[in-house]
Amino acid sequence: MKKLIFLFLIITSVSLNAGHHKAGELASEEIVKMAYSTFASGDTDAWSKLHTEDLKFSIYGQLPHSGIHLGTEATIKNVFEVIPKFWPNFKLEIKNIDTVKTKSGSTVYVLHKMTADNLDTSALHMFTLKNGKINSFSAFDDYDSMRKAMVK
């Protein structure tokens, strides 16, 4: 009987913790994974729907796609359309993803294996989410390796 009560308590605890999202609400990590998936497939319409209108998309360094891009259209034009020109066969493979809850939303950190022609390195990306949408993105990429691999 004690084992049954213990098992009931564990199942109840897991069930209560599993339901911490509102019905129909995706977890921040799932939204970020969807952003990577839509980016990889080239579905910019679906990608745009995952972001706020005032998206701040930051790529540091001195590369062709570097800068602070405001909004999804600027990001698509100045980042997504530029990457394949300079890094053919560009791919990101998620190695680790972690979320930190904040008072205003959440911050998601993603560690990647980044590859392209003549490129094999790591990258760290940071997302902030508010009200179930991505509000900002910052890339902490290996810019030296990216510069060396760039098609000029």
The string of pLDDT tens digits covering residues 44-85 is: 999 999 999 999 999 999 999 999 999 999 999 999 999 999
Which residues form the domain of 78? 51-152
| pLDDT > 60? residue 16 | no
Q: Quick check: is 41 in a domain? A: no
Rg (CA), the chain: 19
Mind listing the pLDDT tens digit for each residue in 114-143? 999 999 999 999 999 999 999 999 999 999
Strands 133-141 and 51-59 turn out to be parallel
The alpha carbon of 78 is separated from its chain's Cα centroid by a whole number of angstroms, namely: 18
The reply to whether 42 falls in a domain is no
CA 100 to mean position of chain CA atoms: 14
- Asked, for residue 9, whether it belongs to a domain, the answer is no
In a domain, 2, yes or no: no
Q: State how far the Cα of 99 lies from the Cα of 29, in Å rounded to an integer.
A: 7
Residue 70 within a domain: yes
CATH code for the domain of 104:
3.10.450.50
More confident residue, 104 or 148: 148
Residue 25's pLDDT is 59
Overall number of domains in the chain: 1
Mean pLDDT of 15-37: 71
What whole-number distance in Å separates Cα of residue 105 and Cα of residue 100?
9
Alpha helix positions (H), 22-135 = 28-41, 44-49, 72-75, 83-86
Q: Fill in the DSSP letter of residue 27.
A: P
Identify which of 108, 80, 84 has the alpha carbon closest to the alpha carbon of residue 96: 108
Residue 31 pLDDT: 97
- 15 occurs within a structural domain: no
1 pLDDT higher than 90: no
Residue 146 lies in a domain: yes
Q: What angle do CA 77, 80, 81 make, to 5 degrees?
A: 60
Q: Is residue 120 packed enough to be buried (19+ CB in 10 Å), middle (13-18) or exposed (0-12)?
A: exposed
Does the residue 65 lie in any domain?
Answer: yes
| pTM of structure | 0.82
**Residue 26 — very low, low, confident or very high, per pLDDT cuts 50/70/90?**
confident
The model's pLDDT over 88-121, given as tens digits with 9 standing for 90+, comes to 999 999 999 999 998 888 999 999 999 999 999 9
Q: What is the pLDDT at residue 89? A: 97
pLDDT of residue 110: 98
Q: Residue 132: CA atoms inside 13 Å, Cβ hemisphere, count?
A: 7
